[in-house]
Amino acid sequence: MLVSSDAIEFELQKIPDTCHRHQILAFLGVPNIFIESNENIESRAETLCKIGFTFYM
C-alpha cells in the first residue's frame, strides 16, 4: 500500500535535481490512498514544529 498527500507533492516539488524529482513524482500515480491536508493536519504540523520538529531541507 502506498500513500500520497498534497503535502508530499509540495515537498517533492522542492527537489532541485529535475531528473530525480520527475522519477519520484512518477510514483505518485501509483498510490491508492491520497490524503488531503485539512485544519487538523495543519494544526498537528504546527504543534510538531513548536516541540522541535523542523522542515526537511
CA 9, 18, 26, 29 torsion-angle sign:
positive
Residue 55 located in a structural domain: no
Provide the residue-wise pLDDT of the chain in tens; the chain has 57 residues.
677 788 888 888 888 999 988 888 887 777 677 778 889 988 998 898 899 987 665
Residue 42 located in a structural domain: yes
The CA distance from 45 to 57, in Å, is 16
Residue 56 located in a structural domain: no
Q: Which residues pair with 3 in a beta bridge?
A: 33
18 is in which domain, residue-wise? 3-50
Residue 30 located in a structural domain: yes
38 phi, psi to nearest 5 deg: -145, -175
Residue 45 located in a structural domain: yes
Structure confidence at residue 1 (pLDDT): 66
Q: How many domains does the chain have?
A: 1
